[in-house]
Chain A
């Protein structure tokens, strides 16, 4: 534990104490049956181009290095395991990280879309997080929109030579926050408020989920930084061998 990290932990503790009193809402996944059929199909269709690009990309890299497939599968399994774990917290509320930002930074958002939809399917069936009818909407928010933001910030930060930890932190936490904004928009469009319409409903969902999602995003950011550092130290040879993280220093 270095001093900086120690300070972060203390800040984190404060957050955890404040927010452990609030029942944590799992805002990341839209529940089964929560969207009308039209929206389920629309969000699903919106995901198809990203998935198609991802499959083409995966086929290409796997054609060059078969081993990449196993590493991608491990990343998927890791994302799933991370989402099935609970953050330690005072009251034992069920908050968990998403982990998709990390994959997006290493493999790019398109590849993550494919892994993300598989993980979401597994989460729906094995953990009852999310659902089959809302798979499209959840894929769009968690496996496409969030990772694109994470990837963009990561690339920008690397190009502008920001501090590496700050870049990774910002990429992961803002990706997480963007995911929850998209989820709020999806829910708001599907269930507009009676008095204030779609905008009002989006505002309401954003407001309520902000209480739990902002600290969650910060924790996810910190966790991603920790994992990323470990990754660069221990797994860089494996990653460079198959052509990822080459520019990392």
Chain B
């Protein structure tokens, strides 16, 4: 099911996370453990006022860089996009509109004032820092755990079987469709389909339409193939056991203890 390793170079960029997760140094760690650590860290990040979330982020980045063996440059490259969005949204939180001159900075526009107050500066920076730190927790999960293992964990969490099945199939079909897409895109490119913006849109629309039609045909053929092999509505895979070691459990326990104490101290002080 997951043999589409590096088949197309373009896929590498579209699904960078998938490739990092597959070759991660943490690939052999128990997936339940990784998921729980990531999710609890996320919740703790949201509960903190900023300081603790920075500590969590530093630990998450450390884990991914040292144990996950992700290249620092590549990691930064992946972080840049969400960070840009967070900063842009931060500007919206930072700037308020007011009828009167107030706050620490104000610019007059059309009889109104764009203002920045002490409070808005404080909230905007707090929320942006928390959001950035949360992204590192999310990245800890996505850069260390392949999707199919996450789905298996969700199966253990008793999600409806139909959803699990849909997840496995969607995950599989994503690779099929991406490959078809890049083939069609290359074909269009060699025929000058992306020579200017108008042509690009024509090609893009045409490819998307065709992709949908091909998706339908592939779904049909896949079903026939699966039925011929005895598909009865339940997808079963060979699973390799990855038990969590005592050392890992101990480390995670220690980590949560420290963070919860920090969070408590932070709550009392601020």
CB contacts (< 8 Å) of B150 on chain A: these are 125
Whether B134 is near chain A, meaning CB under 8 Å from some CB there, is yes
Given contacts A88-B204, A126-B15, A229-B209, contact A74 B46 (CB under 8 A): no
Whether A155 is near chain B, meaning CB under 8 Å from some CB there, is no
Whether B181 is near chain A, meaning CB under 8 Å from some CB there, is yes
Whether B93 is near chain A, meaning CB under 8 Å from some CB there, is yes
Closest B residue, CB atoms, query A84: B14
Contact of A122 with B174 in the complex, beta carbons under 8 Å: yes
**A-B Cβ contacts below 8 A, count:** 243
Per the CB 8 Å criterion, the residue count for chain B at the interface is 88
> Cα distance A13–B137 when bound, in Å?
40
> Cα distance A166–B178 when bound, in Å?
30
Whether B43 is near chain A, meaning CB under 8 Å from some CB there, is yes
Contact of A33 with B212 in the complex, beta carbons under 8 Å: no
Closest A residue, CB atoms, query B180: A81
Whether A42 is near chain B, meaning CB under 8 Å from some CB there, is no
- Which residue of A31, A75, A89, A133 contacts B43 across the interface (Cβ within 8 Å)? A133
Whether B202 is near chain A, meaning CB under 8 Å from some CB there, is yes
Contact of A132 with B218 in the complex, beta carbons under 8 Å: no
> Cα distance A230–B213 when bound, in Å?
7
For the complex formed, measure the closest distance between the CB of B106 and the CB atoms of chain A, giving whole angstroms.
Answer: 11
> Cα distance A99–B69 when bound, in Å?
36
CB contacts (< 8 Å) of A194 on chain B: these are 96, 117, 119-120, 123
For the complex formed, measure the closest distance between the CB of A81 and the CB atoms of chain B, giving whole angstroms.
Answer: 5
- Which residue of A66, A74, A85, A208 contacts B233 across the interface (Cβ within 8 Å)? A66
Per the CB 8 Å criterion, the residue count for chain A at the interface is 79
Chain A interface, DSSP helix/strand/loop, else mixed? helix
Contact of B117 with A234 in the complex, beta carbons under 8 Å: no
CB contacts (< 8 Å) of B138 on chain A: these are 32, 124-125, 128, 131-132
Q: A residues near B, CB below 8 A?
A: 1, 9-10, 12-13, 16-17, 23, 25-26, 31-37, 40, 55, 58-59, 62, 66-67, 69-78, 80-82, 84-85, 87-90, 94, 114-115, 118-119, 121-122, 124-128, 131-133, 187, 191, 193-196, 200, 204-205, 208, 222-223, 226-227, 229-231, 234-235, 238-239
Q: Known A-B contacts: A78-B212, A90-B197, A194-B123. Give 6 more (CB < 8 A).
A: A76-B170, A77-B170, A128-B139, A230-B212, A231-B212, A238-B217
Can you list 14 contacts pairing A with B, beta carbon distance less than 8 Å? A9-B198, A33-B130, A34-B131, A34-B134, A58-B162, A62-B162, A66-B233, A80-B174, A88-B194, A89-B197, A118-B170, A191-B123, A231-B216, A238-B220
